[in-house]
Structure 1
Protein backbone atom coordinates (compact mmCIF):
# COMPACT_ATOMS: atom_id res chain seq x y z
CA UNK A 1 0.00 0.00 0.00
CA UNK A 2 2.66 2.55 0.96
CA UNK A 3 4.26 2.75 -2.51
CA UNK A 4 0.90 3.12 -4.28
CA UNK A 5 -0.16 5.71 -1.69
CA UNK A 6 2.87 7.89 -2.45
CA UNK A 7 2.56 7.65 -6.25
CA UNK A 8 1.53 10.98 -7.66
CA UNK A 9 2.25 12.90 -4.45
CA UNK A 10 4.65 15.76 -5.18
CA UNK A 11 6.50 16.46 -1.96
CA UNK A 12 8.36 19.77 -1.89
CA UNK A 13 12.15 20.16 -1.55
CA UNK A 14 11.83 19.54 2.20
CA UNK A 15 9.85 16.34 1.63
CA UNK A 16 6.51 17.86 2.66
CA UNK A 17 3.05 18.16 1.15
CA UNK A 18 0.29 20.56 2.22
CA UNK A 19 -2.50 18.80 4.16
CA UNK A 20 -5.93 20.33 4.66
CA UNK A 21 -8.32 18.98 7.29
CA UNK A 22 -11.96 19.57 6.41
CA UNK A 23 -14.98 18.60 8.51
CA UNK A 24 -16.67 15.63 6.80
CA UNK A 25 -20.19 16.86 7.66
CA UNK A 26 -20.05 20.66 7.41
CA UNK A 27 -17.14 20.85 4.93
CA UNK A 28 -15.61 23.71 6.94
CA UNK A 29 -11.83 23.90 6.62
CA UNK A 30 -10.52 23.29 10.12
CA UNK A 31 -6.77 23.47 9.68
CA UNK A 32 -3.83 23.32 7.29
CA UNK A 33 -0.61 21.55 8.19
CA UNK A 34 2.18 19.58 6.54
CA UNK A 35 2.79 15.89 5.99
CA UNK A 36 5.92 14.00 5.06
CA UNK A 37 5.75 10.51 3.52
CA UNK A 38 5.72 8.87 6.97
CA UNK A 39 2.82 11.04 8.18
CA UNK A 40 0.81 10.26 5.06
CA UNK A 41 1.48 6.52 5.48
CA UNK A 42 0.52 6.59 9.18
CA UNK A 43 -2.65 8.51 8.35
CA UNK A 44 -3.67 5.93 5.75
CA UNK A 45 -2.72 2.98 7.98
CA UNK A 46 -4.33 4.16 11.23
CA UNK A 47 -7.27 6.21 9.95
CA UNK A 48 -6.20 9.14 12.15
CA UNK A 49 -4.47 12.32 10.95
CA UNK A 50 -0.69 12.49 11.40
CA UNK A 51 1.40 15.51 10.49
CA UNK A 52 4.97 16.75 10.42
CA UNK A 53 5.74 19.81 12.53
CA UNK A 54 8.15 22.15 10.75
CA UNK A 55 8.79 24.15 13.92
CA UNK A 56 9.43 21.12 16.15
CA UNK A 57 11.00 19.05 13.35
CA UNK A 58 9.04 15.97 14.33
CA UNK A 59 6.18 13.69 13.46
CA UNK A 60 2.95 14.01 15.46
CA UNK A 61 -0.55 12.66 15.58
CA UNK A 62 -3.27 15.29 15.88
CA UNK A 63 -4.69 15.06 19.38
CA UNK A 64 -1.80 13.17 20.97
CA UNK A 65 -1.59 15.83 23.69
CA UNK A 66 -5.03 17.48 23.55
CA UNK A 67 -7.20 14.45 22.87
CA UNK A 68 -8.66 16.30 19.86
CA UNK A 69 -7.94 13.55 17.32
CA UNK A 70 -9.01 13.62 13.70
CA UNK A 71 -10.63 10.44 12.36
CA UNK A 72 -10.07 10.40 8.61
CA UNK A 73 -13.06 9.42 6.47
CA UNK A 74 -11.49 10.20 3.08
CA UNK A 75 -8.10 11.20 1.64
CA UNK A 76 -7.99 13.20 -1.59
CA UNK A 77 -5.04 14.32 -3.71
CA UNK A 78 -5.33 17.42 -5.90
CA UNK A 79 -4.66 17.47 -9.65
CA UNK A 80 -1.07 18.69 -9.25
CA UNK A 81 -0.33 16.19 -6.50
CA UNK A 82 0.93 18.91 -4.17
CA UNK A 83 -1.97 19.07 -1.69
CA UNK A 84 -3.93 16.50 0.29
CA UNK A 85 -7.44 17.10 1.61
CA UNK A 86 -8.77 14.92 4.41
CA UNK A 87 -12.45 14.73 5.24
CA UNK A 88 -12.31 14.22 8.98
CA UNK A 89 -14.35 13.85 12.14
CA UNK A 90 -12.89 16.20 14.75
CA UNK A 91 -12.95 14.80 18.30
CA UNK A 92 -14.16 17.35 20.83
CA UNK A 93 -15.08 19.85 18.09
CA UNK A 94 -11.74 21.66 18.52
CA UNK A 95 -9.11 21.62 15.75
CA UNK A 96 -7.16 24.77 16.64
CA UNK A 97 -4.54 24.92 19.39
CA UNK A 98 -6.22 28.18 20.49
CA UNK A 99 -9.26 26.16 21.57
CA UNK A 100 -11.46 27.09 18.63
CA UNK A 101 -13.34 24.86 16.18
CA UNK A 102 -11.15 26.00 13.27
CA UNK A 103 -7.78 27.65 12.81
CA UNK A 104 -9.57 29.99 10.40
CA UNK A 105 -11.31 32.10 13.03
CA UNK A 106 -10.37 35.55 11.72
CA UNK A 107 -12.23 37.34 8.92
CA UNK A 108 -11.07 40.43 7.02
CA UNK A 109 -13.74 43.08 7.66
CA UNK A 110 -13.68 46.86 7.60
CA UNK A 111 -9.92 47.00 7.07
CA UNK A 112 -8.89 44.65 9.89
CA UNK A 113 -8.70 40.97 10.82
CA UNK A 114 -11.59 40.35 13.18
CA UNK A 115 -12.03 37.31 15.42
CA UNK A 116 -15.40 35.72 14.65
CA UNK A 117 -15.18 32.34 16.42
CA UNK A 118 -15.32 31.91 20.18
CA UNK A 119 -12.79 29.97 22.20
CA UNK A 120 -14.51 26.71 23.14
CA UNK A 121 -11.84 25.68 25.64
CA UNK A 122 -8.88 27.67 26.98
CA UNK A 123 -5.45 26.48 25.76
CA UNK A 124 -4.13 26.11 29.28
CA UNK A 125 -7.04 23.78 30.08
CA UNK A 126 -6.20 21.75 26.96
CA UNK A 127 -2.41 21.62 27.18
CA UNK A 128 -1.58 22.82 30.69
CA UNK A 129 0.36 25.67 29.08
CA UNK A 130 0.03 28.19 26.25
CA UNK A 131 1.12 26.83 22.85
CA UNK A 132 3.48 28.84 20.65
Structure 2
Protein backbone atom coordinates (compact mmCIF):
# COMPACT_ATOMS: atom_id res chain seq x y z
CA UNK A 1 0.00 0.00 0.00
CA UNK A 2 2.88 2.38 -0.26
CA UNK A 3 4.16 4.52 -3.06
CA UNK A 4 7.26 6.62 -3.41
CA UNK A 5 5.55 9.77 -4.64
CA UNK A 6 2.24 11.45 -3.89
CA UNK A 7 -0.29 11.55 -6.69
CA UNK A 8 -0.71 15.29 -7.42
CA UNK A 9 -1.07 15.86 -11.12
CA UNK A 10 -1.64 12.16 -11.79
CA UNK A 11 -5.06 10.61 -12.22
CA UNK A 12 -6.63 9.55 -8.95
CA UNK A 13 -9.70 7.52 -8.17
CA UNK A 14 -10.93 10.37 -5.95
CA UNK A 15 -14.34 11.64 -7.07
CA UNK A 16 -13.66 14.65 -9.34
CA UNK A 17 -16.34 16.65 -7.52
CA UNK A 18 -14.41 16.23 -4.27
CA UNK A 19 -11.00 16.73 -5.90
CA UNK A 20 -12.21 19.99 -7.43
CA UNK A 21 -13.04 21.39 -3.99
CA UNK A 22 -9.57 20.77 -2.51
CA UNK A 23 -7.00 23.53 -2.12
CA UNK A 24 -3.68 21.74 -1.85
CA UNK A 25 -0.22 22.82 -0.72
CA UNK A 26 2.35 23.21 -3.51
CA UNK A 27 3.29 19.55 -2.96
CA UNK A 28 -0.33 18.44 -3.44
CA UNK A 29 -1.35 17.85 0.17
CA UNK A 30 -4.18 18.88 2.47
CA UNK A 31 -4.04 18.84 6.25
CA UNK A 32 -6.14 16.11 7.85
CA UNK A 33 -7.24 16.46 11.46
CA UNK A 34 -8.28 13.26 13.22
CA UNK A 35 -10.89 13.76 15.94
CA UNK A 36 -12.48 11.18 18.24
CA UNK A 37 -16.05 11.02 16.96
CA UNK A 38 -17.88 10.68 20.30
CA UNK A 39 -15.82 12.94 22.61
CA UNK A 40 -14.55 15.60 20.22
CA UNK A 41 -10.97 14.99 21.38
CA UNK A 42 -8.45 16.18 18.77
CA UNK A 43 -6.10 13.26 18.21
CA UNK A 44 -3.58 14.16 15.53
CA UNK A 45 -2.80 16.01 12.33
CA UNK A 46 -1.66 14.17 9.23
CA UNK A 47 -1.38 14.92 5.52
CA UNK A 48 -3.37 13.52 2.62
CA UNK A 49 -3.16 13.82 -1.12
CA UNK A 50 -6.03 12.85 -3.43
CA UNK A 51 -5.15 9.16 -3.31
CA UNK A 52 -4.87 9.05 0.49
CA UNK A 53 -8.25 10.78 0.79
CA UNK A 54 -9.76 8.36 -1.72
CA UNK A 55 -8.43 5.39 0.25
CA UNK A 56 -9.73 6.88 3.51
CA UNK A 57 -13.19 7.39 2.05
CA UNK A 58 -13.43 3.96 0.46
CA UNK A 59 -11.76 1.70 3.04
CA UNK A 60 -13.06 3.21 6.27
CA UNK A 61 -9.48 3.39 7.60
CA UNK A 62 -7.39 6.57 7.70
CA UNK A 63 -4.65 6.64 5.09
CA UNK A 64 -2.06 9.42 5.23
CA UNK A 65 0.92 10.54 3.19
CA UNK A 66 4.15 10.49 5.21
CA UNK A 67 6.20 13.50 4.21
CA UNK A 68 9.31 12.11 5.92
CA UNK A 69 9.08 8.55 4.54
CA UNK A 70 7.54 9.64 1.22
CA UNK A 71 4.93 6.89 1.28
CA UNK A 72 1.31 6.18 2.17
CA UNK A 73 0.56 4.71 5.56
CA UNK A 74 -2.63 3.35 7.02
CA UNK A 75 -2.98 4.31 10.67
CA UNK A 76 -2.65 1.18 12.76
CA UNK A 77 -1.18 -1.21 10.18
CA UNK A 78 2.05 -1.55 12.18
CA UNK A 79 1.02 -0.32 15.64
CA UNK A 80 -2.46 -1.82 15.86
CA UNK A 81 -3.75 1.65 16.86
CA UNK A 82 -6.41 1.82 14.17
CA UNK A 83 -8.60 4.76 13.19
CA UNK A 84 -12.04 3.64 12.03
CA UNK A 85 -13.58 6.44 9.96
CA UNK A 86 -17.02 7.66 11.04
CA UNK A 87 -17.22 10.77 8.84
CA UNK A 88 -15.08 13.09 6.72
CA UNK A 89 -15.74 16.82 6.29
CA UNK A 90 -14.03 19.52 4.28
CA UNK A 91 -13.50 22.95 5.84
CA UNK A 92 -14.86 26.16 4.31
CA UNK A 93 -11.56 26.95 2.56
CA UNK A 94 -11.10 23.45 1.12
CA UNK A 95 -7.60 23.12 2.55
CA UNK A 96 -8.28 20.91 5.59
CA UNK A 97 -10.27 17.76 6.14
CA UNK A 98 -11.72 16.72 9.47
CA UNK A 99 -11.83 12.96 9.87
CA UNK A 100 -14.03 11.87 12.76
CA UNK A 101 -12.78 8.47 13.86
CA UNK A 102 -13.11 5.79 16.47
CA UNK A 103 -9.51 5.58 17.67
CA UNK A 104 -8.31 2.21 18.94
CA UNK A 105 -5.31 2.71 21.24
CA UNK A 106 -2.90 5.61 20.99
CA UNK A 107 -3.11 8.13 18.15
CA UNK A 108 0.38 9.54 18.67
CA UNK A 109 3.56 7.78 17.55
CA UNK A 110 4.90 8.38 21.10
CA UNK A 111 2.23 6.07 22.50
CA UNK A 112 0.11 8.90 23.92
CA UNK A 113 -3.63 8.99 23.32
CA UNK A 114 -3.33 12.30 21.44
CA UNK A 115 -0.48 14.21 19.82
CA UNK A 116 -1.64 17.36 21.60
CA UNK A 117 -0.81 16.54 25.21
CA UNK A 118 2.94 17.21 25.07
CA UNK A 119 2.66 20.63 26.66
CA UNK A 120 0.18 23.43 26.81
CA UNK A 121 1.13 26.86 25.54
CA UNK A 122 -0.67 29.38 27.70
CA UNK A 123 -1.50 32.79 26.20
CA UNK A 124 0.22 35.58 28.11
CA UNK A 125 2.82 33.29 29.67
CA UNK A 126 6.27 34.86 29.77
CA UNK A 127 8.58 33.83 26.94
CA UNK A 128 11.63 31.77 27.87
CA UNK A 129 14.77 33.81 28.64
CA UNK A 130 16.65 34.96 25.55
CA UNK A 131 13.56 35.28 23.31
Q: Normalising by structure 1, what TM-score?
A: 0.79
Q: Over aligned residue pairs, what C-alpha RMSD do you find?
A: 1.5
Partner in structure 1 of residue 21 of structure 2 = 8
Instruction: Give the superposition deviation at 1:9.
Output: 1.0
| 5+ residue gaps, structure 1 | 113-132
| 5+ residue gaps, structure 2 | 1-13
Check the 8 A contact 1:5/1:41 in 2, yes or no.
Answer: no
Q: Which of these residues, 79, 93, 96, is aligned with residue 108 of structure 2?
A: 96
Structure 1 pair 16/108, CA: closer, same or farther in 2 (3 Å)? same
Q: Normalized per residue, which structure has more strand?
A: 1
Q: Does 1:21 align with 2:34?
A: yes
Partner in structure 2 of residue 32 of structure 1 = 45
User: Comparing both chains, which one has the higher relative contact order based on Cα–Cα distances under 8 Å and sequence gaps of 6 or more?
Assistant: 2
Q: Normalising by structure 2, what TM-score?
A: 0.79
Question: Secondary structure of 1:95's partner?
Answer: coil
Extract structure 1 runs of 4+ deviating beyond 6 A: none
Distance in structure 1 (CA, Å) of the matches to 2:19 and 2:74: 19
Q: Normalized per residue, which structure has more helix?
A: 1
Pairing of 1:16-95 with structure 2 (within 5 A) = 16-92=29-105, 94-95=106-107
Instruction: Give the superposition deviation at 1:111.
Output: 5.1
